[in-house]
Amino acid sequence: MELEVRHLRVVAAVAQHGSVPAAAAALGVTESTLGSEVLRIERFLGCTVFRPAGAGVECTAVGERVVARARAVLDELAGLREDIRSDASARGPLRISSDSMRFFSSFVGQAYATDMRRPLMPVPPLPGTTTTAALVDGRIDVAVVIVLTAATPVESPMIGERGVVEREPLLVALSATHPLASRRCVDITDLAGEDWILPPSEIDPGSEATAAVLARLGMTLRSSYGPHDLGPLWPSVVAGRAVSFAVPTASAPPGGVLRPLTGQPITARRVLRWRRGALDEPDVERCARAAGSAYREQLTHTAQTQDWWRTALSEEKPTLAN
């Protein structure tokens, strides 16, 4: 392992927020991921950077020196980036993305149809990282992401956020031959014994937020697939080997069905996030309009092609932001 800039951001964030959960929320990663990263950093450095303190953590004596050096390097890098980007940011292409490939295509199409003042550079969903982390790292400028309602909000001075969909109840994807497929809606506790496909996006149903929701229902999820997009694994669902969460704008292929979950136990929001300084307020407004138009376009397709929509109750359908 080599020490990288992202490791410096980790120790600086934990020191700033005084706890791993709060730092994880600020960085847009899960608590377990950040905790493992801290342990790897400490093993590499050969010292203990943080020690328990009440409900959080505090720096050790050597940790204070590590954090001070980390902050100095990060400040220098931030200044360098700002110097380089100050002119280029206003004139260069706007790098837009999403954590969902299907929504990404619609979002890009609507962005091109909007009177954007800068050329667009579409960046497909990035594997191996969250979209929010890509914004923080400067790999993209603006994106639409799906986040669990139960998740801790991202509080970062580097990231701006605006709601696109205020409430998006997650559905379940089943084989059409599944015993529960004939129901109008499905109780998630009836699927406790199923093998689940868990999306690797900001929804992250393996995260602490979802685990807490499921714990209140007295269940955990079993997955032999690991984090994976539903799209390529729809054949496994159609064959009856797995079930999956799905968003309301998903399309079930022949042999598959989508059903609302009774009581909407897990809901998400869809938000526009951008790296502050990468675009001005008029560009934010244009991107927000494009994102809203893309979502309405997909909902229209859902209403026309997905049978669950015609019988769904109003609370089982998404609520768009104003």
Give the contacts of 101 (CB within 8 A, at least 6 positions apart).
124, 125, 229, 231
Query: In this predicted model, what pLDDT tens digit does every residue of 81-128 receive, in sequence order?
Result: 665 554 455 567 999 999 888 899 999 999 999 888 889 999 998 765
Q: Does pTM top 0.75 for this prediction? A: no
Q: What is the DSSP string of 257-315?
A: EEEEBTT--SEEEEEEEEETTSS-HHHHHHHHHHHHHHHHHHHHHHHHH-HHHHH--GG
Structural contact between residues 273 and 99, judged by C-beta atoms closer than 8 angstroms: no
Query: In this predicted model, what pLDDT tens digit does every residue of 295-312 receive, in sequence order?
Result: 999 999 999 999 999 999
Nearest alpha carbon to residue 151 among 36, 288, 267: 267
Give the contacts of 62 (CB within 8 A, at least 6 positions apart).
47, 48, 49
Tokens of 287: 């991107």
Helix (H) or strand (E) holding 223: none
